[in-house]
Structure 1
Amino acid sequence: MRHFTLLFSFCLLLTGLYAQEATSLEVYNILQAKCATCHSGVDAPAGLDLQGSGATLNARMQDVYTTLYNQTPANATAAAKGDAYIYPGRADRSFLFRKMNSGLEPTVHLEASGDEGQSMPPYGEPVLTNVEKELIRQWILYGAPAAGTVVDRAILESYYSGMAQASFPDGPPPAPAPEEGFQIKMGPFYLAPGDELEYFQKYELELPEEIEVNRLDMKIGTYSHHFIMYNFGPGGDAGIAEGFRTNPFHNNVKLVAAIQEPTDLNLPENTAFRWDEGLIADLNSHYINYSATLVYQAEVYVNVYTQTTGTAAQEMFTELLVKGNIPIPNNESTTTHTQVVNPNWGEVYLWGLMGHTHKYGTSYKAWRREGLQATEMLYDAACPRGEPGCVSPYFDYRHIPFRYFEPLEPVTMNFANGLIHEAKWVNDGPTSVNFGPTSDDEMMVMVAMYTEDSTGVQVVPTEEIITAHDVLKVSPSPASDWVQVQSPDYIQDGTFVLFDATGRQVWQQSVSGTRFLVERGVWPAGMYWYQLQTSQAKAYTGKILWLE
């Protein structure tokens, strides 16, 4: 197996939190107010003393921290699952959080058999508020540090007071049946209005044996910039802290998938990702809160579907092709960068290609390279499905298409042959930019998925991907006060979102049926972009021009 060393940094620093008290002290104070009335001293239930011993507050707090952090619960059922009272980075595996969750997180619950006891605090005792439970959950997700401030309580209070927008307002998507696979969740984390955050998270998959994965159904919210999943190679996670982190620290990882919109990735028949026993994943989520008033709850769900080991004839590989030096001056002229991809791999069989830029991007293309020259164009991000030769090309950096090759496309990779990818930008911003992590920087990244042989592979044609212009009828166009959006019968419900020219969301509405109105309100004249995200996780995009 080939491993691609990624010197690929998405670094954002948390700011504005240092005036608060340490989060661990906030957690301790919550435990004192709501739990320590029962759980204190040598006679505490289950031997769990949440008051702590010591002559000072800090000593008592440290005593409780030592009792909880990575410590095996007294409950035999929880202990048998390998959980801890506080499992750093994983609220779902933290028995203390599961006991006090009481519906805050629908996917986290106590065993239905009752072997893990009842929710806490018990009836008649002071209950924890949603803000208190969320603060504890966030502290755990950030690695449950003993010192430092990692959670802004004011943001949580705003969210739970109603100043809120969620990635999944209807609740978590259902997980696969146990015999079909399992669900991975990253988050939540919370963004203040106008904020932008990107995190990595080491995630133990708890695989008891090698598995074959033939489908990844990846679900992200409207405000997601991207989601990327990596797997660590042997020892690659050594020294990497638990919980959310801003630095990738990638020394030995393998790319699995990278998406910019909800994607149900069904691999070709008789292919699969092969994941080893005990594999540890690394999840990467980047969200931008376009709202000027609401706190955003960012989450990612990945439904992993498996098949009997040994079913796949070929293993699916994924590579991230990065050009890291892309200076783009702010001269409002077109800037072009290209990169030759020519590792000595021999013949491979492409299943998919997808490019990625940020907001100044205007084009992304890729060609086959033969005899040191670019020949056949294989990918054009301005066309539906990424297939070159479309009649009305339209490049939307937020929704760059993935091209699937049906059948697999053989490509020889060596010194003289391979691929060439090219991106173009027009920088009309305030400063020159280069490769970087935020939406104010730029990127030139291509994802390539392939097998090393095509024997036994059967590619079933994917459902036709159609642009919004072919599916949705928006009239009148251009418009003055309102437009009517009409969709075909197979699109019955979803979420319609409108963005202005800066990428800021100005309107969102849940829709049902095949016809609805969008009234202009107070929006100024100009070009606006829309996205209709259906309940089947398909996205249709287009534009509306409001006249003066």
Structure 2
Amino acid sequence: MLLEDYESSYHIIQVEIFDKYCTSCHVAGNTYAEESRLILTSDTSYASLINVIPNNEAAQSDGLLLVGTDGLQSLYASFLWEKINAPNQENFYSDHPYYGALMPLGSPALTNGQIDFIGDWISEGAPGTGHVADISFLDNIERYDAEFTPLEVPENGIQIHLGPFEVAPQKETEFFYYFELNNDSELFIKRVEIEMRSGSHHFILYTYPENFWIAVEDSVERHLRNPDESYNESVLSIMAYQIFFTGTQWRQLDVTFPENVALRLPVNTTFDQNPHYLNYSDDTYLGEVYTNLHFAESEPEHIAEILQLNVIEEIYLPPNDTTTIEKTFMFEDILIENGLDPLSITTIDKINILQLFSHAHEKMLEFEVFIIDNDPSTEDEQIYYNNDWEHPPINYYGEGWDYEHPVYPAIEIFPEEGLRLKASYYNWTDETLDFGFLSTDEMMILFGYFYTQ
């Protein structure tokens, strides 16, 4: 069908762009549609876009609409335009860190011509009928390819580089890559930087318990799934011993700990790098990750302990239904879950939370964390909220953070207090789901850092 034969500019957008690149996710029943409250199938797309407030708190605060009808001024107040404008990627992530990811997700960017055609349509008032956008824009089939810039090697620290490695089409690629640091003395980490190529679901840097012997070949990709998509049991058997050290679901991370706090690496630290990439396109692309660990000048007053609270057995999601799961971790549970010696717990009278972020998969609708205090007359206070499974906010608490995003008031947990985790999921499939490692399975994990006194 020739472009001139379509009924309208919007009809071209629907058939040539939305139907080809967007409706695999933005369709009724899909979690992306649930999270964004945006369905782009032809029966509802126009009404779902025009003069509709986006389901994103940051975009709402900035006064954006998905698509307005006020011509050129609506172009620069359009959340749809922000989300597809790949050539503006650098400013998108630096200026709007809480807008989520650029679209389409897990696929190459729209062509420059497709982006310009949609921009022209919005500038002309975004009508549902009539030919208002210049179809010659669509002749431009070049696509923006974001430049991946490796991190510079730190002056006082270590750089860890993984890749580049291939991410096969229409698959998820997740593996572990073990190596030994061979440090002959303790190291204290003051700052963490991570930079990775786009398309990542997450990157996690794990360590193992001190003096833990593990029979793993160094510098080899150990894939979570076998070629037949079954789990690799040799990988699963080791994961129970892994300790989260740092990681992110964002393409970039750069954070410096408060002046008196640092992470600790014991003598002979071993690392396991864990990238997870999603490729929903028909083309192979490359994944790559750089991690910089900057050393502190001296031993800090407080050692940042790793917070990792897992909910596993409780995850049971009936088909075609919404399920809410809650689990409480009291003061002692938090210490024990995160590897502190139970015999020493009596000497610890306070937990200071430094950082929190959630981890879940595509069926997640909301993830909330509440603090349970020892006053039964007060309601539990919400201290964390996330409704974007792919890009969970990383919240920092207390003074002294060298970080460009908001820092929240300090959180202190005392004996007889704790944290309550609450997550809601919509399982749109016809199968019951439980805990698993693919993005089509589910998880419910709270990560972060804390120190004790």
Match of residue 295 from structure 1: 284
| Pair 1:324–1:169, CA change in 2 (3 A) | same
TM-score (norm 1): 0.46
Of residues 382, 398, 401, the one that matches 2:393 is 401
Matched residue, 2:294: 305
Equivalent in the alignment of 2:151: 174
Of the three residues 160, 182, 186, the one matched with 2:162 is 186
1:175–1:182 Cα contact (<8 Å) kept: no
Instruction: Give the secondary structure class of the aligned counterpart of 1:272.
Output: strand
Query: Does the aligned pair in 2 maintain the 1:328–1:425 contact within 8 Å?
Result: yes
Deviation for aligned residue 1:367: 0.6
d(CA) in 2 for partners of 1:288, 1:237: 32
Shift of 1:174: 2.9
The secondary structure found in structure 2 opposite 1:443 is coil
> Against the structure 1 CA distance between its residues 438 and 316, is the aligned structure 2 distance closer, same or farther, given a 3 Å change threshold?
same
Please state whether the residue corresponding to 1:222 is helix, strand or coil: coil
Q: CA deviation at 1:314?
A: 0.8
Name the CA shift for 1:307/1:180 in 2 (closer, same or farther; >3 Å). Answer: same
Amino acid of the residue matched to residue 383 of structure 2?
Answer: L
Q: Which residue identity does 1:349 align to in structure 2?
A: N
**Aligned mates of 2:284, 2:191 — CA distance in 1:** 33
Q: Is the 8 A contact 1:321 1:448 kept in 2?
A: no
With a CA cutoff of 8 Å and minimum separation of 6, indicate the structure with the bigger relative contact order.
2
Deviation, 1:183, is 1.0
Partner of 1:438: 438
Q: Please state whether the residue corresponding to 1:400 is helix, strand or coil.
A: coil
| TM-score, normalised relative to structure 2 | 0.56
* CA deviation after TM superposition for structure 1 residue 411, in Å: 3.0
Give a deviation string over 1:164-195, Cα, whole Å, max 9, x none.
Answer: x99x9645513234x32221012232122111
Higher helix share: 2
Map 1:170-249 → 2, pairs under 5 A: 170=147, 172-177=149-154, 179-242=155-218, 243-245=220-222, 246=224, 247-248=235-236, 249=238
Residue matched to 2:248: 259
Contact 2:205 2:247 in 1 (8 A): yes
Which position in structure 2 is the counterpart of 1:322?
310
Contact 1:316 1:449 in 2 (8 A): yes
Q: Tell me what 2:368 maps to.
A: 365
Deviation per CA, 1:477-516: give whole Å up to 9, x if none: xxxxxxxxxxxxxxxxxxxxxxxxxxxxxxxxxxxxxxxx
CA distance in 2, matches of 1:413, 1:199: 38
Q: Deviations over 1:33-85 (max 9, x none)?
A: xxxxxxxxxxxxxxxxxxxxxxxxxxxxxxxxxxxxxxxxxxxxxxxxxxxxx
**Helix, strand or coil for the counterpart of 1:401?**
coil
The answer (yes or no) to whether the contact 1:203–1:282 under 8 Å persists in 2 is yes
Alignment of 1:491-502 (within 5 A): none
Post-superposition offset of 1:309:
3.0
Shift in Å, 1:371: 3.7
Structure 1 residue ranges without an equivalent (≥5): 1-164, 382-394, 454-548
> Is the Cα–Cα contact under 8 Å of residues 397 and 411 in structure 2 kept in the other structure?
no
Report the 3-state secondary structure (helix = DSSP H, G, I; strand = E; otherwise coil) of the residue aligned with 1:182: strand
- Alpha-carbon offset, residue 208 of structure 1: 3.6
What is the CA deviation profile of residues 312-337 of structure 1, one whole-angstrom value per residue up to 9, with x for unaligned ones?
111111121110121111224x2100
- AA in 1 matched with 2:410: E
Question: Residue type matched to 2:397 in 1?
Answer: F
The Cα of 1:253 is off from its aligned counterpart by 3.8
Q: CA-atom RMSD, angstroms?
A: 2.4
Counterpart pick for 1:342 among 320, 326, 330: 330
Contact 1:236 1:250 in 2 (8 A): no
Q: CA deviation at 1:363?
A: 0.4
User: CA–CA distance in 1 between the matches of 2:239 and 2:319?
Assistant: 31
Q: Distance in 2 between matches of 1:283 and 1:230?
A: 6
SS in 1 for 2:203: strand
Task: Kindly state the Cα deviation for residue 299 of structure 1 after the two structures are TM-superposed.
Answer: 1.4
Shift, 1:237, TM fit: 4.2
Q: Aligned AA for 1:356?
A: H
Q: Which has the larger radius of gyration?
A: 1
SS of the counterpart of 2:390? helix
Q: Distance in 2 between matches of 1:355 and 1:402?
A: 8
Corresponding letter in the other structure for 2:380: T
Q: Of 263, 266, 282, which residue of structure 1 is paired with 2:272?
A: 282
Determine if contact 2:151/2:195 at 8 Å carries over to the other structure.
no
Residue number in structure 2 paired with 1:20? none
Give 2:380's aligned residue. Answer: 375
TM-aligned CA deviation for residue 235 of structure 1 = 3.3
CA distance in 1, matches of 2:414, 2:433: 32
> 5+ unaligned residues in a row in structure 2: which ranges?
1-142, 225-234, 336-348, 400-408
